[in-house]
Structure 1
Amino acid sequence: MLFGLIDRVTSAPQLKSSLDRSVERSRGIADRVSKATLQNGDGFALEAKAGTPQPQLNPVNVEDEMVALADEQLRFLATSRLLEKTYASLRTAIKGGNG
C-alpha cells in the first residue's frame, strides 16, 4: 500500500481540513446564538433571584449570526461536494477509467 498517495495526488487533505474548520466556525456561531438568547450568557449559571437581567458587554446580533451560519452551511456543502468528487475521480482512476 502506498502511504500518502491520496495526499500527494489530490486536494483531499485540504478539503478535509476546510470541513473541520467549517464545523468549528458553525459551533462558534451556535454558541454565540445560544448565549444571546439568555440574558446572562450562560444557561448553567441562571440568576438565583428574580430581577433585571445583567446587560451584556458585547451584545450579539442574532440576525447577523444566522446569516453567518447560512453562509457557513453553504461553504460546508460546497466543500463536501468537492471532496466527494475528488474521491470519485480517484476511485475512477484506480478502477481504470471506464468502470
Structure 2
Amino acid sequence: MISGLFGTGTVTNTLRGGLDEASATHRTIAERVARGLGRSAAADFSGALDASMANMDEELTRNMAALADTQLRYEATARLLQKSYSDLRTAIRDRG
C-alpha cells in the first residue's frame, strides 16, 4: 500500500524527481553564471573588443533568465508536492 502512495509512477515520486532535476539544472546554470562573471571580472577591459563584451553580456543575460525560470519551476513543483503531501495527511487523518 505504501509503494502505491510513494512508489514509482506516483505523483509524489514524479514531483520529487522534478525537484531533483530542477535542482541539478539550477546548479548547472549557476555555475555557468559564476564562470561568466569570473571571465568578465578577469577580462582586460583596455584591450577587450566591444563585440566580445556584448556577447558575454548577452550570454550572462540568457543564463540569468534561465536561472530565474528554473527557480520558478522549482518553487511551483515544491508547492505541488507540498499540496500532495497535505492531501495525503488529510486522507490519513480522516480515516482514523
State TM-score, norm by structure 1.
0.70
Gaps of at least 5 residues in structure 1 are 41-45, 47-51
- In proportion to residue count, which structure has more helix? 2
- Give the distance between the partners of 1:25 and 1:10, measured in 2 at CA: 22
- Give the distance between the partners of 1:39 and 1:18, measured in 2 at CA: 31
RMSD of the TM alignment (CA)?
A: 2.7
Work out whether residues 10 and 86 of structure 1, in 8 Å CA contact, stay in contact via their aligned partners in 2: no
Name the count of aligned residue pairs: 83
State TM-score, norm by structure 2.
0.72
Provide, for residues 48-92 of structure 1, a one-character-per-residue CA deviation record: whole Å limited to 9, x for no partner.
xxxx79x8xxx5711011100111111011000000000011111
Q: Which runs of 4+ in 1 moved over 3 A?
A: none
Shift of 1:6: 1.6
**Aligned residues: percent identity?**
36
Higher RCO (Cα < 8 Å, 6 or more apart): 2
What does residue range 60-99 of structure 1 map to in structure 2 within 5 Å?
61-96=59-94
Gaps of at least 5 residues in structure 2 are none
